[in-house]
Amino acid sequence: MPPRDRLEPIFQVEGLDAIYGTKPAIKDVSLEIYKNLVTALIGPSGCGKSTFIRCFNRMNDLIPSFKQTGTIRYHGQDICASNIDPVAVRRNIGMVFQRPNPFPKSIYDNVAWGCRVLGMKDDLDERVERALTQAALWDEVKDRLKASGLSLSGGQQQRLCIARAIAVEPDVVLMDEPASALDPIATQAIEQLMHSLKSEYTFVIVTHNMQQAARVADMTAFFSISRGAEGERYGELIEYDATEKIFTRPADKRTEDYVTGRFG
């Protein structure tokens, strides 16, 4: 990894607060996500890392009680500004969810549907094959593309969802605990594909598996739960640095306690 001042930031987050109704989820988060790197968000359950990753493609817009303040600049533009269409944001910033959620369509159509709807109709077969190959699924499904996406195993379904996300050629792929429902072999396949695809995409991954963060991520952000003046719990960014540094020489005691397993 080149030194940090030579990296190109793709997201610049400044003073981000997120609130569900009256319950704060995260407070005052500022960090930069760099292009063509894998950035991991780690931390205990309830620290707001999933809320945070969903801010990047405005997925929280779907929750009526959700509010956020602060800015997230994507290539310099504030994606939360009122003139920005969340559909345009999501078009460029794809997402893979915690549980595999293929459509009740064929394997082929799961990947092709998004391309068709978004007008990428040229060489659809090639596009589907490329996406499935990149997602390390092609060899397993090439003979049964017409079978339902739901007939696949959990790990295959998640790779299908990754293929679906990258088939529309996003700029960034957000992954919200993509391997939490998968066995170690499927997890390894997903980690490998992130590694081999990061020259083309920027990945942000939420995980509560520290070994996974250590294996796949170039940069790691550690979130933790803090208590406010009135005892309310909220998520806070404790430390953000190169993965190697977070795991070997963390600057904050809380990070050290967490990554060494002394978190309690």
Contact residues for other proteins (CB under 8 A)? 57, 59, 62, 64, 87-92, 94-95, 97, 99, 101-104, 113-114, 117-118, 148-151, 161, 164-165, 168, 170
Q: For other proteins, give the closer residue by CB, 136 or 166.
A: 166
Q: For other proteins, give the closer residue by CB, 22 or 230.
A: 22
What is the nearest approach in angstroms of other proteins to the Cβ of residue 250? 33
What is the nearest approach in angstroms of other proteins to the Cβ of residue 112? 12
SS3 content of the chain, % helix, strand, coil (to 5): 35, 30, 35
Instruction: In whole angstroms, give the CA distance from residue 246 to residue 17.
Output: 24
What is the nearest approach in angstroms of other proteins to the Cβ of residue 144? 12
Q: For other proteins, give the closer residue by CB, 74 or 247.
A: 74
What is the nearest approach in angstroms of other proteins to the Cβ of residue 254? 32
What is the nearest approach in angstroms of other proteins to the Cβ of residue 151? 5
Q: 149: Cβ–Cβ under 8 A, 6 or more apart, which residues?
A: 102, 103, 104, 105, 106, 107, 109, 110, 157, 160
Token code pair at residue 224: 């933790």
Strand ranges for 87-210 from DSSP E: 93-96, 172-176, 202-206
CB 154 within 8 A of CB 181: yes
- How many angstroms separate the Cα of 60 from the Cα of each of 52, 55, 87? 9, 6, 13
Q: For other proteins, give the closer residue by CB, 44 or 86.
A: 86
What is the nearest approach in angstroms of other proteins to the Cβ of residue 220? 24
Nearest to 152 by CA among 197, 102, 99: 102
- What single DSSP character describes residue 8? P
Q: For other proteins, give the closer residue by CB, 135 or 210.
A: 135
Q: For other proteins, give the closer residue by CB, 1 or 118.
A: 118
H or E element in which residue 223 lies: strand 219-227
